[in-house]
Amino acid sequence: MIIMRKFTYKILFFFIFLIPFLTPLIGYNIWLDPYGVIRGDMQTQKTEPNQHYLKIKYCIDNPKKYNAFLFGSSRVGRIDLSKIHDGNNWYNFTYSECVPYETLQDIRLLLHSNIDIKQIIIGLDEISYLVSHKLHNNQSMRKSYVNKINPYIYYLFLRPSHSVYKNILNADTDKFFSKGMYSVIYKDGYFPPNKKDVFIEKKILTHYNDRIFKKPYWQPYYKERIDEAISEIKEIKQLCDAHDVKVVFFINPIYKTTFLKAVENKFFTFLERLTIVTEYYNFSGVNNITSNPFNYYENSHYRPIVGDWIIDDISRKNTKWIVNKDNISTFIKEQQIEIIKVQTHNKKYTACRN
Confidence check: pLDDT of 12 > 50: no
Nearest CA to 295 out of 258, 346, 339 is that of 258
Confidence check: pLDDT of 7 > 60: no
Task: Please report, in angstroms and rounded to a whole number, the separation of the first and last CA atoms in the chain.
Answer: 85
Residue 168 lies in a domain: yes
Residue 171 lies in a domain: yes
Confidence check: pLDDT of 83 > 90: yes
The CATH number of whichever domain residue 172 belongs to comes to 3.40.50
Q: Which of the four pLDDT bands, split at 50, 70 and 90, describes residue 349? A: very low
In this predicted structure, what is the pLDDT of residue 26?
84
Region of residue 278 (left: phi > 0; alpha: psi -120 to 50; beta: else): beta
In this predicted structure, what is the pLDDT of residue 148?
58
Residue 234 lies in a domain: yes
Residue 311 lies in a domain: yes
Q: Which of the four pLDDT bands, split at 50, 70 and 90, describes residue 309? A: very high
Q: Which of the four pLDDT bands, split at 50, 70 and 90, describes residue 174? A: confident
Confidence check: pLDDT of 15 > 50: no
Q: Are 131 and 109 in contact (CB under 8 A)?
A: no
Q: Supply the range of the domain harboring residue 99.
A: 58-129+163-353
Least confident of 18-27, 224-233, 266-275: 18-27
d(CA 335, CA 345): 15
In the chain, the amino acid numbered 105 is: Q
Share of the chain above pLDDT 90, in %: 76
The Cβ of residue 54 has, within 10 Å, a number of other Cβ atoms equal to: 22
Least confident of 31-40, 114-123, 284-293: 31-40
In this predicted structure, what is the pLDDT of residue 354?
44
| Residue 99 dihedral angles phi and psi, to the nearest 5° | -120, 160
d(CA 64, CA 89): 10
Reduced to 3 states (helix: H, G, I; strand: E, B; else coil), residue 298 is coil
d(CA 136, CA 184): 23
Q: Which of the four pLDDT bands, split at 50, 70 and 90, describes residue 347? A: low
**Strand ranges, E, within the chain:** 68-72, 90-94, 119-124, 246-251, 280-282, 322-323
Averaged pLDDT of the chain: 90
d(CA 52, CA 88): 22
Q: Are 189 and 55 in contact (CB under 8 A)?
A: yes
Residue 251 lies in a domain: yes
d(CA 92, CA 168): 25
Residue 141 lies in a domain: no
Residue 45 lies in a domain: no
Total count of domains within the chain: 1
In this predicted structure, what is the pLDDT of residue 11?
44
Confidence check: pLDDT of 2 > 80: no
* 14-21 CB contacts, 8 Å cutoff, 24+ apart: none
In this predicted structure, what is the pLDDT of residue 200?
97
pLDDT, tens digit (0-9, with 9 covering 90-100), for 126-167: 999 999 999 999 899 999 886 556 777 889 888 888 888 888
Confidence check: pLDDT of 348 > 60: no
Residue 24 lies in a domain: no
